Amino acid sequence: MYLRSGNTAAAIHTLKRALTQDPDHAQAHAMLAQCLLLDKRLHAAELEARIALSADPEMPLALYALGHISIARRRFAQAREHFEQLIALEPDDPTNHRALAQLEQLEGDPAAALAHLERARAADPEDATVLSDLADLACAQGDLSLARRHAEAALELAPGDADSLISMGKVLLREGSLEEAHHLVVSVLQVNPSHGGAIGLLAQIKARQSPVLGLWWRWNTWMHSLGDGRSIGVLLAGFFVYAVLSLATSDLGLQKTSELVDILWLLLVVYTWVGPVLFMRMIKKELGEVELSRDF
């Protein structure tokens, strides 16, 4: 129940209480892994999933969590192994095919992702989340009319489904209907204020509304996609380029250029310092204005 409303803190608290009573409860460990994954506490999530698997090596929930943890850690080969094991265990569960489709998409193979989503749809034609994934895939490939059809079909099956609403929001954003997309995001946040997809889409809408802050948001998204090690590398490379330029222009007697390089660097530092603060304030203000529905 807590997880459905996005309240991972309460879910974790409850599971910890359960594990205090029975530290060997494999299902509780697997559910805890899932919650920790949602909170991006990957190290702890992996540990909990492995504890669950040590008790039951074929527990689907633990394999599912471990697959997604591997994706978050960008260990795609391991993720594939877990998902394929999961599909072998439960070939008719559309969730497992959706997971593999997500991995295929991340690895840059939309055709394979589509094939897995079609298998998921065949497994359960009434599953709105599969249609919502199909909408997202079509949207990412730029086929907005197909994306809209899938999103509409998903909403027809499950009118209030958060993922389907967000998929439709993504289509609307790509079509340029910012206000309508915003309206859908707010309707999702009213029920689940910590819905990751909704907050992500809200950030995209805000980034579109403010080009200056949007630039920072895109840069930040890109840096996050690189992972810790590579993003540190990019930052250091940027500093190295600046330092060499500054020294070289000074050595060549180009004082004005050297000063310009220093000023540009300073502006970049200030921008990357102030940008996230302003952007987060904008998002928080927006979230603060969301009135929770009675369904929350």
Residues that bind other proteins (CB under 8 A): 12, 16-17, 19-20, 23-24, 29, 32, 36, 41, 43-44, 47-48, 50-51, 54-55, 228, 232, 235-236, 239-240, 243-244, 247, 251
Least distance (Å) between residue 28 CB and other proteins: 9
Measured at the alpha carbon of residue 131, what is the angle toward residues 86 and 154, in degrees to the nearest 5? 135
* Pick 251 or 289: Cβ nearer other proteins: 251
Question: For the packed helices 196-209 and 255-288, what is the interaxial angle rounded to 10 degrees?
Answer: 130
Least distance (Å) between residue 248 CB and other proteins: 8
* Pick 10 or 144: Cβ nearer other proteins: 10
User: Using alpha carbons only, how large is the chain's radius of gyration in Å?
Assistant: 22
Least distance (Å) between residue 243 CB and other proteins: 5
* Pick 57 or 91: Cβ nearer other proteins: 57
* Pick 4 or 16: Cβ nearer other proteins: 16
C-beta neighbour count of 261 within 10 angstroms: 21
Least distance (Å) between residue 220 CB and other proteins: 15
* Pick 13 or 183: Cβ nearer other proteins: 13
Least distance (Å) between residue 51 CB and other proteins: 5
Measured at the alpha carbon of residue 65, what is the angle toward residues 62 and 70, in degrees to the nearest 5? 120
Question: What phi-psi label fits residue 40: left (phi over 0), alpha (psi between -120 and 50 degrees) or beta?
Answer: left
CA–chain centroid gap for 43, Å, is 18
Contact by Cβ (8 Å): 114, 137: yes
SS3 (DSSP) at 106: helix
